Amino acid sequence: MHSRDELWSRLTEETFDLLIIGGGITGAGAFRDAAHRGLKVALVEMVDFASGTSSRSSKLVHGGLRYLEHYEFSLVFEAVSERRVLQNIAPHIVNPLAFLFPVYDTSRVSMNTLRAGMWVYDALALFRAPKTHTTLSKRSLRKKEPALGQDGLKGAPLYYDCATDDTRLTMETLLDGLQRGGVAANYTRVDGLVKNDDGRIIGASICDEIDGRRSEVRAKAVVNATGPWTDRTRAYATGAAPLLRPTKGVHVVVQSSRLPVSHAVVCTHPEDKRVLFAIPWGEQTYIGTTDTDHEGDPAAIRATGEDVDYLLGCANHYFPEVDLTRDDVIATWAGLRPLISQEGSTASVSREHEIVVDPAGLITIAGGKLTTYRKMGAEVVQSALNLMALFGQVPDGVGDAQTGREPLPGAVGWPENDDASTVAAEVVEAGLGKVSDASARYLTNRYGTRGLDIARLAASNQGLAQVLIDERPELMAEVDWAVGQELCLRLNDFMCRRTQLYFRDNDQGLGAAEAVAERMGELLGWDEQRTTEEVLAYQAEVARSRAWRSD
């Protein structure tokens, strides 16, 4: 990995074919596509990669069964096709997940309608879903999901989609683009666009959010992939009407012992009949999501007490014996869907994406889904090439991108039969007796075959083989890995995105914050004051995420 100074020098001294603003999944997908085509590409992200919506989704790679209700067949077809592609290029982090859709005698959608929908869903996947759907009787449902309420229960279709880790998917997509020669910098904010004498955009002014230095990046084409910030970024180039109608979605996390589900359970909220999920997540279960219009600063969103009560209310309705209370909530996350503006209810707003090129040449991509990011990336890079072609600026030797065939970094060397346990056994071996089975499984599921490198790091130094929190699998070696290989610059980055301690640990990782900050300080040359500031900033982030408790 290049040092930050080297990255910054490259960003500001070279001229790029393409500059991408925004390091969420949309920007990452375009970055990888451009790098695969042989374009000289740079990406800048104002906070950390995936710190926006792309770490706050429902973490599903799915067609979106419910979009069939709105007759969005082409969106569902594209998404189920991409589901298959992502299973192939990222099998370590895109895994089949079984969904149950319980039907009660009071349900809004009847069993027959659902069954018909399931056939359409499987047909749109050309019958290549992870498994074909089936229907469970009330009796077998009771065996499979004993906590589910039985009153008026008729049965449930069982179907398959995929679960992923949205942050890792973003990170691995970026890492692949970096390996192909792209330049990407986090904590680098665009605060203006640079135009030539003809008024055409030829770059952006940037500010280093770590040390305040300023400069410019030059590029033949500039892509705005700033998700919920899309209209703010467009305002640097154009006075056009806003494109977006952002809606907020909240999830809550509880221990799986408090809400034990072995399938993702699809629920329609008893009050407004919106579709929600209770999703098994290893030792935890998460429940989501809300869908409410949001205006104002995207960075300021958080779960409110009302959001949390709404989600717990739904879970308690479907799982009446469980009786979840606010005290059961370990963590929450709130994200903004960067949806294209439309009239109607929030749930009915289309998840399709749009690409808009404004007169000064800023190429904006907005809307869409995590699931379809690879195709969105390809489309927006093609738009950039079309624009370059108008000015005779397409570089020589630009080829096709094989992003649907080439594995992401953690999938290189992954077994054909998708057997994670064989990789985990190799990780144990690479750890030379210092990495437990639980940590090896965790490293495998998170980093794929790159878990082997982290185990080797742990084997090289007893301190790095330590777990960060007793009874948890995360290792100190991950700090070295994150700083050395994954552009981790702040304590928050490590706790919230390079690992999931913030979401999964009972105390949101606070118990490990100081030790991690000290190790990061050694690696990044922080003084004592900076190390303390990092810990305080993390504590403040945790406090902010718990503010709903006093609503």
Enumerate binding residues for ligand FAD (CB under 6 A).
Answer: 21-27, 44-47, 51-54, 56-60, 62, 189-190, 225-229, 233, 249, 289, 335-338, 368-371
Nearer to ligand FAD, 189 or 456 (CB): 189
Nearest distance in Å: CB 78, ligand FAD: 11
Nearer to ligand FAD, 368 or 407 (CB): 368
Nearest distance in Å: CB 527, ligand FAD: 27
Q: Give the dihedral sign, CA 354/203/209/526.
A: positive
Nearest distance in Å: CB 386, ligand FAD: 21
Q: Give the dihedral sign, CA 311/313/317/320.
A: positive
Nearer to ligand FAD, 156 or 340 (CB): 340
Nearest distance in Å: CB 65, ligand FAD: 12
Token pair for 180: 């192909």
Bridge partners, residue 247, by sequence = 293, 337
- Burial code (b: 16+ CB inside 10 Å, e: under 16) for 273-305 equals ebbbbbbbbeebbbbbbbbeebeeebeebbbbe
Among residues 284, 303, 276, 222, which one has the least CA distance to residue 42? 222
As a dihedral over the C-alpha atoms of residue 509, residue 510, residue 514, residue 516, rounded to 10 degrees, the angle is: 10
Nearest distance in Å: CB 193, ligand FAD: 10
* Dist CA 159 CA 122 (whole Å): 9
Nearer to ligand FAD, 339 or 443 (CB): 339
Q: Rounded to a whole number, what is the distance in angstroms from the first to the last CA of the chain?
A: 44
* Dist CA 291 CA 527 (whole Å): 43
Which are the contacts of 284, defined by CB distance < 8 A and separation ≥ 6?
Answer: 253, 254, 255, 256, 330, 503, 504
Q: Which helix (H) or strand (E) holds 288?
A: strand 284-288
Nearer to ligand FAD, 449 or 492 (CB): 492
C-alpha angle with apex 23: 22 to 25, nearest 5 degrees?
110
Nearer to ligand FAD, 24 or 409 (CB): 24
Nearer to ligand FAD, 233 or 444 (CB): 233
* Dist CA 381 CA 400 (whole Å): 11
Nearest distance in Å: CB 32, ligand FAD: 13
Q: Residues 226, 233: contact at Cβ < 8 Å?
A: yes
Nearest distance in Å: CB 44, ligand FAD: 5
Token pair for 515: 């030790």
Among residues 24, 29, 19, which one has the least CA distance to residue 373? 29
Nearer to ligand FAD, 192 or 305 (CB): 192
Nearest distance in Å: CB 52, ligand FAD: 2
- For every residue of 138-183, which 3-state class applies, written as one string? HHHHHHHCCCCCCCCEEEEEEEEEEEECHHHHHHHHHHHHHHCCCE
Nearer to ligand FAD, 226 or 439 (CB): 226
Nearer to ligand FAD, 51 or 500 (CB): 51
**Residue 423, Cβ density class (10 Å: 0-12 exposed, 13-18 middle, ≥19 buried):** buried
Nearest distance in Å: CB 478, ligand FAD: 22
Nearer to ligand FAD, 311 or 452 (CB): 311
Nearest distance in Å: CB 281, ligand FAD: 13
Nearer to ligand FAD, 86 or 542 (CB): 86
* Dist CA 520 CA 536 (whole Å): 15
How many Cβ atoms sit within 10 Å of the Cβ of residue 250?
Answer: 25
- Location of structure tokens 């082997």: 452
Q: Give the Å distances, CA to CA, from 484 to 449, 488, 548.
A: 17, 8, 36
Nearest distance in Å: CB 250, ligand FAD: 7
Token pair for 99: 């969904």
Nearest distance in Å: CB 336, ligand FAD: 6
